[in-house]
Structure 1
Amino acid sequence: MSASGPVHSLWSSIVAVLGRAFPNLVHYQKLTTNSPAAGMQGKFRSSVWDPPLIVSQMITMQCIYYTTLGLVSALVMLVIHNQPSLHYVFDTDVFHISAKVNQLVLVSHLLNSLLGAVALWMLAWRAKQCLDFACTLHLFHFMCCWIYTGHFPTSLMWWLVQLLCIILMVVTGEYLCFKSDMKDIPLVGSKADV
């Protein structure tokens, strides 16, 4: 049995249940580049609409984002002998520069954006998907912060930091994706290998 077998069967049962409850939600036509209906013959890296892949990538990105943000925030707080807390991850009112602890919270979010860019590079694979993934990730973060605090985030500094984090994550992620795309393709065993 392949490694994707249990995940595929779990996804198939979820799709089957949702398909019965919401018939128009989960029915889509999965096209391959070899299919005449795809209209994509001969195009390099043609993208295919694959909702299970996109959803699994987003869930993975969200998990990586909160894991790394929690670890970076905990390490930063332990360095200054402060107790790590979810307060530093989800509370929008700690985003100001009046105290050293709050400045370090800002730094931990910015550092986490760089780690998020590496995750984008490893999961999204394509530079054109980096903006979509980063904005979706921060949209979910916005909703989690709203739920955690119980009120709409009104701190201007929180909004600026989130915007800066999105920009940093997207630009760095796209740079890493472009660097990977520009690598030479090895032609082992051919006459071009001089």
Structure 2
Amino acid sequence: MPARRRPPAGSRTELPPLKIIRKILLLQVAYYACATVLILFTTVVYGAPFSLDLIFGWDSLRGDTTIGWMLGLVWMLNCFISVIFLLLFVSRSKLIPDFALTIHFLHLVATTFYTHSLPTNFLWWGLQFASAAMMTFLGMWACQRRELEPISFGGLGGGSSSRQAGSSSQPSAGDGQQESSFGRGRGRERSLQEYELDDMKHAGERAV
């Protein structure tokens, strides 16, 4: 039988559909939970009543009211906080745009179903585009920094380097044996030279 080809990296085997759906649900729940907490805190401080229209409605985001501008700032702050969720649940820079755009698309679907109409407020659309762009840019930047961090192996690297340094600084028994053998070799050469000089002296005396 022919050998099966391995699927390329980043295919469905690494990120199966069920895992993708689970991550999308977790990110969407975290996105709305963080927005609910921020909007609830803002309304309590401002003294305005809290309702789901502030989360799923689009007519509250108006440029002629104070609460409208405050909601815009709250949603942008929620965008910055959601980058942390992308870093925790996705942690891969090339997948960040897909998940960031999916979050805002599902928010558009939820807003349309809640209000029974497609949003027609330009401030709402501008806020969604700005939030998606910032979430994509910051999420990719954070994930790339995390991917480029050097991998540390605890104290193993330091121990091996110190052992190597110690072994290089301290002479070993093999080095001493090499030095002694080298000295004996030079001693043999010296004795041979003296023997040859003695033979030459004896030959000269016989000639005289």
The separation in 2 between residues aligned to 1:175 and 1:82, in whole angstroms, is 37
Is structure 2 residue 79 aligned with structure 1 residue 113?
A: yes
Aligned twin of 1:63: 29
Aligned twin of 1:37: 5
Deviation string, structure 1 residues 156-193 (Cα, Å, up to 9, x no partner): 11110000010111111111111211211113313358
Deviation string, structure 1 residues 125-179 (Cα, Å, up to 9, x no partner): 1011111001111111001000111111111111100000101111111111112
Task: Select 1:85's aligned residue among 51, 57, 63.
Answer: 51
Deviation string, structure 1 residues 6-36 (Cα, Å, up to 9, x no partner): xxxxxxxxxxxxxxxxxxxxxxxxxxxxx94
SS in 1 for 2:91: coil
Deviation string, structure 1 residues 47-87 (Cα, Å, up to 9, x no partner): 23111110100010111011111111111111111122111
Task: Select 1:160's aligned residue among 94, 105, 126.
Answer: 126
In the TM superposition, what is the alpha-carbon distance from 1:118 to its structure 2 partner? 0.8
The separation in 2 between residues aligned to 1:36 and 1:177, in whole angstroms, is 33
Tell me the TM-score normalised to structure 1 length: 0.75
Is structure 2 residue 61 aligned with structure 1 residue 95?
A: yes
Aligned twin of 1:17: none
Aligned twin of 1:173: 139
- Paired AA for residue 139 in structure 2: G
- Identical-pair percentage: 21
Q: Structure 1: state its 5+ residue gaps.
A: 1-34, 41-45
Aligned twin of 2:92: 126
Aligned twin of 1:47: 10
- Paired AA for residue 76 in structure 1: T
Aligned twin of 1:142: 108
Number of residue pairs the alignment of both structures matches: 155
The separation in 1 between residues aligned to 2:104 and 2:32, in whole angstroms, is 11
The separation in 2 between residues aligned to 1:39 and 1:53, in whole angstroms, is 18
